[in-house]
Chain A
Amino acid sequence: MMHETRGFRDRRPEAGEAPPALEVRGLTVEFPSRRGTLTAVEDVSLSIAPGEVLGVVGESGAGKSMTGLAVLGLLEPPGRIAAGEIRIGGRRVDDLPDREMERVRGREVGAIFQDPLTSLNPLFTAGAQLVETIRIHLGLDRRAARERAIALLREVGIPAPEERVDHHPHQFSGGMRQRVVIALALAAEPRLIIADEPTTALDVSIQAQITALLRRLCDEHGTGVMLVTHDMGVIAETADRVAVMYAGRVVEVGPVAEVLRAPRHPYTRGLMGSIPALRRRVPKLTQIDGSMPRLNAIPSGCSFNPRCPQAGPRCRRERPALAASGAGLAACWLEQGGVE
């Protein structure tokens, strides 16, 4: 298997001196609408080193997918980046014109979306879509591109790739299709992959295979991954660090082991409480009461305060900023001098 991947390793940056695969500074995404502007993502800063997997976790609507789409430059109008900077491999991309962004997508940043059943064009073979992507970015001729397509399919663990390359998407199972999608994301060796719920639509038995594959490929190629999910279990297995998002903001960031062992933010604790433990008998899974505020009704102070079991008067008055807490960062008054 290793000889297949030799070509991909050439670009692997030297540890230490390479720029981060992704650096996001103060990203704010807005949706102007007739009834005022909705802020879907507010002042989000993230950084992913080459070869690192950053898990981004939160409930639906927390802004995690929106952050991913903003990095890809695929926000649906009228959504727009209102503030902040996005750098991929050190190069600023948020202000690029569409034409140039087309060359960044696929080449510098790949994407994997939730549903492998609908991510592939049903009318084209897996090979045709791979060859298309490879030729656009690497300018190979048809035969070389096809060779590479077959090598990629083999690398993502598709048996008999010489045959499978000419199959249409409906001839693959869900797990196999997601492998094809991963091969497509990796086709031009991007520095960064945005994986938006890559395993949510798959059978549980397949999920672990796919996350392990993703993990291995990124280790081998030195690709940074932004793994967007609502599943703490996937994060625990795959990610190096985790960023917890709530109502458009990052509320806690830290190394996975640290955050799992000692979550600092009450919201993170709530998320952890909703994972069933296998060993212990739990009478009832904990749940976080209430639901995330709508974007046009975010409470003042800490946006989590109405649902927080430990909220105090300060939480309703002032919004906490991210600050060092343990091995990571947390935006919570409990960690920053109390809630009174």
Chain B
Amino acid sequence: MIAFLIKRIANAMLVMLAVAFFAFMIFRFVGDPVEMMLNEQATQAERADLRAKLGLEDGFLVQFGRFVTNAAQGDFGISYRNQQEVIGLIAERFPATFELVIVATIISLAVGIPLGVVTAIRRGAWYSEALQFLSIIGVSLPSFVVGIVLILVFSVTLGLFPAFGRGETVQIGWWSTGLLTELGRAAILLPAVSLSLFQITLVMRLVRAEMLEVLRADFIKFARARGVPARIVHFRHALRNCLMPVVTMTAMQIGNLIAFALITETVFQWPGMGLLFIQAVTFVDIPVMAAYLCIVSFIFVALNTMVDIAYAVIDPRLRGANG
């Protein structure tokens, strides 16, 4: 088990190092940072001075090493655009994205699991077929289209929910939350629904497939033979046996959602990390881009590693050499 842990974590670190390398390469490809940071009247001496201060005279590996060391400590440098610590900018934006993703995940589970169960146990009924068909549409609709349609219907036409922004937020320490105010809750609904639509279909299809598998199991037949009512057979005995893969997928998808949130955040002008990134791209704010890349990758890698480890804890067979 210890060997497995070390191996998994070493793997994760290797991946992060590779990501850091790509993030670092952006700096070198997008041109001379000194040119971007100083105005045109700067003297040669000032340029050389800044160059030395930024460590740009050092060799490639030394610079990369410094970048990794700083990044590991949360220091991604200073934003070119607003001259603030990058990590501070991200910390400010992270709660917005995180809340959006969590609410979207809860919606997708709360809607997707019951739909999956219903379509599995009422296989062949017209509404199951209809849901199956709709889920294909749900999978294939791009999320910006969903977002725009939601805004059009619920904000513009019906005027029920705000079309953009976080509404009102409350500060708790460094964390800003919109979930505690009514305006904040109203504001999060549309972007969360738009973000969760794809997940709902994913969860529904996964639960349906797993349920169909489990319902064929002998213990389901035996539970029915013991006189357990159908409702309990479906929701206690069958569903619980389906939840493992659902939990796994949900954990993995949180990474995806954070990445996909970029589009939703843009559509809804949601002040999260994704929006920060898009703005950074517009202004060629390289430190912010590099930091975003590293942090999103870190979330992905961390979630994957945790899922792997959780699996090994649950199933001893996975602890072997080929894990």
Give me the interface of A with B, judged by CB distance under 8 Å.
72, 74, 98, 102-107, 110-111, 113, 115, 118-124, 129, 132-133, 136-137, 181, 184-185, 187-188, 194
Contacts and interface: CB of A to CB of B under 8 A. Distances in A.
Given A118-B217, A121-B237, A122-B241, A102 B229 contact: yes
Given A121-B237, A123-B240, A110 B225 contact: yes
Contacts of A133: 226-228
B249 to A, nearest CB: 19
B230 A105 contact: no
Contacts of A118: 217-219
B224 A137 contact: no
Contacts of A185: 226
Contacts, number: 67
Contacts of B219: 118-122
Nearest to A109: B225
B227 A107 contact: yes
Contact of B230 (A98, A123, A187): A98
Contacts of A120: 219, 222
Contacts of B226: 105-106, 110-111, 129, 132-133, 136, 184-185, 187
A72 B229 contact: no
Contacts of B228: 102, 106, 132-133, 136
A137 B227 contact: yes
Given A105-B224, A105-B226, A111-B226, 16 more contacts: A74-B221, A74-B224, A102-B228, A102-B230, A105-B225, A106-B225, A107-B227, A111-B225, A119-B218, A119-B219, A119-B222, A120-B222, A121-B223, A132-B226, A132-B232, A181-B222
A18 B228 CA distance: 28
A184 B222 CA distance: 10
Contacts of A111: 222, 225-226
Contacts of B224: 74, 102, 105
A102 B218 contact: no
A136 to B, nearest CB: 6
B218 A115 contact: yes
A113 B230 contact: no
Nearest to B237: A121
23 contacts: A98-B230, A102-B228, A102-B229, A106-B227, A107-B227, A110-B225, A111-B226, A115-B218, A118-B217, A119-B219, A120-B219, A121-B219, A121-B223, A123-B240, A123-B241, A124-B237, A132-B228, A132-B232, A136-B228, A137-B227, A181-B222, A184-B222, A187-B226
A181 to B, nearest CB: 7
A104 B218 contact: no
A244 B57 CA distance: 94
A103 B227 CA distance: 6
Interface string B194-235: 000000000000000000000001110111111111101000
B222 A105 contact: no
Contacts of A123: 240-241
A102 B227 CA distance: 5
A319 B73 CA distance: 88
Nearest to B238: A121
Nearest to B240: A123
CB-CB nearest 9 A-B residue pairs: A106-B227, A111-B225, A118-B218, A105-B227, A119-B222, A106-B226, A121-B219, A133-B226, A119-B218
Among B225, B230, B232, chain A packs the most CB atoms within 10 A around the CB of: B225
A115 B225 CA distance: 14
A123 B219 CA distance: 11
B235 to A, nearest CB: 13
Contacts of A113: 218, 221-222, 225
Contacts of B223: 121
A304 to B, nearest CB: 31
A194 B224 CA distance: 13
A330 to B, nearest CB: 32
Contact of A72 (B218, B225, B230, B241): B225
A129 B219 CA distance: 11
Contacts of B240: 123
Contacts of A102: 224, 227-230
Contacts of A121: 219, 223, 237, 241
Nearest to A72: B225
A124 B241 CA distance: 10
A187 B226 CA distance: 9
Nearest to A134: B226
B268 to A, nearest CB: 40
Interface in B130-166: none
Contacts of A107: 227
A242 to B, nearest CB: 23
Contacts of A115: 218
Contacts of A194: 225
A191 B240 CA distance: 32
B214 to A, nearest CB: 10
Contacts of B230: 98, 102
Nearest to A128: B236
A110 B229 CA distance: 15
Contacts of A132: 226, 228, 232
A282 to B, nearest CB: 37
B283 to A, nearest CB: 53
Contacts of B229: 102, 136
B35 to A, nearest CB: 63
A120 B227 CA distance: 14
Contacts of A188: 227
Contacts of B227: 102-107, 133, 136-137, 188
Nearest to A105: B227
A185 B229 CA distance: 16
Contacts of B232: 132
Among B223, B229, B240, chain A packs the most CB atoms within 10 A around the CB of: B223
Nearest to B220: A121
